[in-house]
Structure 1
Amino acid sequence: MLRSSQPLTGPNRRRCREDELLLGTVLDEGEQGFIIDTRSAQAAKQARMTGGGTEPKSFYPQWRRLHRPLERGRPLQESFIKLVEACSDSSISMDRWLSRLESCRWLSHVKAALSTACLAAQCLDREKANVLVHGAEGTDTTLLVTALAQVILEPSCRTLLGFQGLLEREWIEAGHPFHLRCAHSAYSHARLKQEAPLFLLFLDCVWQLSRQFPFSLEFSEQLLLTLFDSAYASAYGTFLCNNEKERCLCKVKESTHSLWAWLNQPGEKKKYLNPLYTHNPLVTWPSVEPQSIQLWQGLFLRWIRSSQYLDEAWAEIQYLVESH
């Protein structure tokens, strides 16, 4: 699986022979690859007017382009804000609450992300084909899809250390602009143009996987909650800045501590492990039917509903597992 930004073909449909050669070397003669574009066909076409574009079929004859549009900017942030507002309003009736939950469309974004990741995984696993994923810059929905596909396909990415490596590789080193995307929370009055909860959407999708496959992920919901908190406000430098260049200029590694070093301490690590985990070598194909996608209550309702009884239940499960 490959990832990139969009080709810069522009309105004159410029060629890039280096790109053509690179993608040509990936495939053997007679093989077909898939390009999953996370923009709509119309958006990709419009991008040509500002210097972007898509891969022309005539220059990439062995590659089939599939458009699977995913929201990444203001609409996604507004969806997040509306969901948080609905979850914070305890005065509304159940019917009104369900109506607001549906109208915010957050669960639709979760479904779309999982569906697109499944498409990439199917191309790799069932078609045995090479896959290139890109949207516009290649640092938002592109990373969402490639990271999710790896969690679905790779058992190693479902371990605690493997998942940390995945985040480091597919989000941090790949240049997801955390500083811009996670500048404020949904409670902020500021409405910054660059804000968008792509990383939260990824964590939500992973939580959906953990709920559907409760024995297959070595880490627990607590890790996902900690990662969400750390992306928005953290005592560690792991999610600071927008890319590696900025982190080098700010000397982040020299001036801050790593979140991973803290999480992997023996005393801390135990808090983030799933006591029900059993190694599963199979692909974890998630269901994306409406009844299968649920609200992540542990995050969105954690300040409204007490988790005391759930925490006690998990502690009891952990005790039973360790005592046997």
Structure 2
Amino acid sequence: MDAIRVAKVEGVLCTKAGITTSGTIHLTAHHLIFHHDDPEREETWVPYPLISLVTRLPLTLQGQCPLTIRTRTFEALNLMFATERDAIDVFDSVKELTVATSVTQLYAFYYVPNPPFDVQNGWSLYSPREEFGRMGVGSRTKAWRFTDINKDYSFSPTYPARLVVPTRISDTTLQYAVKYRSKGRLPALTYLHWANYGSITRSSQPMVGLTSNRSIQDEKLIEAVFQTHWSPESRASNAPVYGATTTNLIIDARPTTNAVANTAKGAGTENMDHYKEAKKAYLGIDNIHVMRDSLARVVDTLREADLLAATNSGMSDEQADEGTATPVLDRQALRRSGWLKHISAIMEGSLLIVRNVHVNSSHVLIHCSDGWDRTAQLSALSQLCLDPFYRTIRGFMILVEKDWVSFGHRFLDRCGHLSSDKFFLAPTENPGGGGGAEAAQAFLASVQNRFASQSHIKETSPVFHQWLECVWQVQRQFPERFEFNERFLLQLHYHLYSCQFGSFLFNTERERRVGEGGPPPCDRTVSVWDFFNSPPELELNRNPDYDPSMDDPANRSSKADMGVLMFNPKDVRFWYQLYGRTDEEMNGRFVARQAAENPEFAGPIGASADDLVNIPASHRKRSLGALMKGALRRRLNHRRSGHL
């Protein structure tokens, strides 16, 4: 293959997780492989799409050439080559193999499992008719119906082919209503609660604009959604069965200012004067750019800790002993990243939805801007807590297929599967041969150039990864309520980026199901669920503590909760296993007192009185002054105790 300048390099030193071994680098069409000289050690395989950053540094004083490879699964390989030519050849080869120009170049389009998987129905695992039928559409209630209005994806290109809408609403009404929602993503059912007729529908933002546009058809559609409690056994709206609810919610996941600001772009948020059967709640969850930057700060903190550890490894024993009081990982920097605050905000919004559907027997319509990021997070996490079926292995797969894959989460864009040459950093050639100082300065310039041009990654964001972290938080609080274990979630995160399977490569159902001049991708690639449903994986991913009897609605034990999980959204911590760290390193002693001492762990502001912006200026100064004095006092105490 032309892209591979060197297929094999021997005598390479590899440092991973603080352990250095010698071995051989092999470059294939789709993987970088490190084969250890020690036969007891297992080979390290790195699929090229898993690579997030490759850095080639100038020659060391010992004449070796270092190359660092960082992955999207938060691992780091530090490779030391004997010659600069080998390092350059590996660097250039990996760069050309990683930066794909088309999705069909990715591993999934070449991968053939050998031997074949025992089960090969992953692409048909989720059937809308079966899944919504399980919820009771068409049987337990006649208030909802299937429509094939989008069967050829021309009605709403980013939506699934089969939609569920209120029976009272005709397809003609839908044809008008679809024009009022961004990207044509009009309100459609995603969940019907088993305990009552409460529902979760999802959509994108309305196209209100500066002229305060409204759509009678959109208003009628949402009114019909919020009245599906009425006579659920008939197709007409007569007298209510047990009264219309008054807590129907329109959830706008965005901060209020963001939602209002979108009116300048012709969009915005609902004018509640026209949606009288509901109230609106803004959740204040930040956008994809804030989430990307927040995770980047976590990754930077981890990387700095690795660099510090590498520096300390070169110290004498006496120097190392003197530095033992200082932790390698900066937990303060981790908390300042805001990552746990964002996790808590998503969980708090999901808990609001769970309570409204289950306790209040009401309806919830969720949207953010386009309805494929924050909307998917809130919708899927809420359903995971409302319905025990989604906490089984098969049910979880169906939930991901329904609310993420089918409803059009932009996996290709958000995961950055095609990568970019901006993630490959090398020292600029220095023809003058000015020495190490000039080489280091040139390398710094190349790094600054990378961060000066970020347009290539403006659509990437760890949205699905973030949702997996939320699932782990709930799983940690309710360890007996999930059929799958933590390994299952870790494997799913790995294959989100490995590009070995076709499930997470595209932005829409249409792109997976419709072939452009040939067989569709679903016929050309293997589904990730075929891998997860193989007997070896099923065995490894089962939770031995799973107790399905706890989900029985008839259970009257002290722990009984009708199978609905009401988690604590403030009880969040870093998923240290995902980042390859220990609980003590990432969470440490702060976990026990996080809610009391660390405002970074707090969830969204619940009342205006809690917002510093709404505190009078004189009081605000005193509040900020008290905070600063407390911080200084803690810092002095740390100094006295030898921690700083």
Q: Same fold (TM over 0.5)?
A: yes
Which residue of 141, 152, 160 maps to 2:393?
160
Q: Which residue of 1 aligns with 2:225?
A: 26
Q: CA deviation at 1:197?
A: 0.4
Give the Cα separation in 2 of the matches to 1:188 and 1:65.
Answer: 42
Give the Cα separation in 2 of the matches to 1:134 and 1:262.
Answer: 32
Between 1:81-90 and 1:193-202, the stretch displaced more is: 81-90
Q: Which residue of 2 aligns with 1:254?
A: 523
Q: Which residue of 1 aligns with 2:567?
A: 286
Give the Cα separation in 2 of the matches to 1:270 and 1:188.
Answer: 37
Q: Which residue of 2 aligns with 1:295?
A: 574
Q: Which residue of 1 aligns with 2:319?
A: none
Q: Secondary structure at the match of 2:274?
A: coil
Higher relative helix content: 1
Q: CA deviation at 1:96?
A: 6.2
Give the Cα separation in 1 of the matches to 2:327 and 2:397.
Answer: 38
Which residue of 478, 481, 484 maps to 1:213?
478
- CA distance change for structure 1 residues 274 and 255 in 2, over 3 Å: closer, same or farther? same
Q: CA contact under 8 A between 2:245 and 2:361: conserved in structure 1?
A: no
Relative contact order, higher structure (CA 8 A, sep 6+): 1
Give the Cα separation in 1 of the matches to 2:515 and 2:477.
Answer: 42
Give the Cα separation in 2 of the matches to 1:294 and 1:178.
Answer: 26
Between 1:243-252 and 1:162-171, the stretch displaced more is: 243-252
Q: Percent identity?
A: 31
1:34-53 equivalences under 5 Å are: 34-53=249-268
- Aligned partner of 2:249: which letter? F
Give the Cα separation in 1 of the matches to 2:492 and 2:536.
Answer: 18
1:30-109 equivalences under 5 Å are: 30-32=244-246, 33-88=248-303, 89-90=305-306, 91=308, 93-94=326-327, 97-109=330-342
Please report the TM-score for the alignment, with normalisation by the length of structure 1: 0.88
- CA distance change for structure 1 residues 177 and 81 in 2, over 3 Å: closer, same or farther? same
Q: Secondary structure at the match of 1:179?
A: helix
- Aligned partner of 2:261: which letter? Q
- Aligned partner of 1:294: which letter? R
Give the Cα separation in 2 of the matches to 1:177 and 1:210.
Answer: 26
Q: What are structure 2's unaligned runs of at least 5 residues?
A: 1-199, 228-239, 310-325, 425-449, 552-562, 585-644
Q: CA deviation at 1:84?
A: 1.7
Q: CA contact under 8 A between 2:255 and 2:286: conserved in structure 1?
A: no
Q: CA deviation at 1:45?
A: 1.1
Give the Cα separation in 2 of the matches to 1:264 and 1:246.
Answer: 24
Q: Which residue of 2 aligns with 1:193?
A: 458
Give the Cα separation in 2 of the matches to 1:114 and 1:43.
Answer: 20
Q: Which residue of 1 aligns with 2:369?
A: 136
Q: What are structure 1's unaligned runs of at least 5 residues?
A: 306-324
- Aligned partner of 1:286: which letter? F
- Aligned partner of 1:230: which letter? H
Give the Cα separation in 2 of the matches to 1:303 and 1:238.
Answer: 31
Tell me how many residue pairs correspond in the alignment: 302
Q: CA contact under 8 A between 1:72 and 1:196: conserved in structure 2?
A: no
Give the Cα separation in 2 of the matches to 1:219 and 1:37.
Answer: 31
Give the Cα separation in 1 of the matches to 2:525 and 2:408.
Answer: 19
Give the Cα separation in 2 of the matches to 1:141 and 1:249.
Answer: 29
Q: Secondary structure at the match of 1:36?
A: strand
Higher relative strand content: 2
Which residue of 210, 217, 221 maps to 1:11?
210
Give the Cα separation in 1 of the matches to 2:249 and 2:352.
Answer: 10
CA RMSD of aligned residues (A): 2.2
Please report the TM-score for the alignment, with normalisation by the length of structure 2: 0.45
- Aligned partner of 2:385: which letter? I
Give the Cα separation in 2 of the matches to 1:109 and 1:288.
Answer: 11
Q: Secondary structure at the match of 2:249?
A: strand
Q: CA deviation at 1:97?
A: 1.0
Q: CA deviation at 1:234?
A: 2.5
Whose radius of gyration is greater, 1 or 2?
2
Deviations 1:101-149 (A, max 9, x none): 1111111111111111101111111111100000100000000000000
Q: CA deviation at 1:303?
A: 10
- Aligned partner of 1:100: which letter? A
Deviations 1:253-283 (A, max 9, x none): 0110011112112222111111111113121
Q: Secondary structure at the match of 1:87?
A: helix
Q: Secondary structure at the match of 2:272?
A: coil
Q: Secondary structure at the match of 1:295?
A: coil
Q: Which residue of 1 aligns with 2:403?
A: 170
Which residue of 356, 380, 384 maps to 1:123?
356
Which residue of 469, 480, 494 maps to 1:229?
494
Q: Which residue of 1 aligns with 2:614?
A: none
1:203 aligns with 2:472: no
Give the Cα separation in 2 of the matches to 1:48 and 1:193.
Answer: 22
Q: CA deviation at 1:284?
A: 1.4
Give the Cα separation in 1 of the matches to 2:302 and 2:387.
Answer: 34
Q: CA contact under 8 A between 1:87 and 1:301: conserved in structure 2?
A: no
Give the Cα separation in 2 of the matches to 1:57 and 1:302.
Answer: 47
Deviations 1:138-165 (A, max 9, x none): 0000000000001111111100000000
Q: CA deviation at 1:304?
A: 12
- CA distance change for structure 1 residues 208 and 6 in 2, over 3 Å: closer, same or farther? same
- CA distance change for structure 1 residues 296 and 96 in 2, over 3 Å: closer, same or farther? closer
Q: Secondary structure at the match of 1:297?
A: coil
- CA distance change for structure 1 residues 241 and 130 in 2, over 3 Å: closer, same or farther? same
Q: Secondary structure at the match of 1:194?
A: coil
Between 1:118-127 and 1:21-30, the stretch displaced more is: 21-30
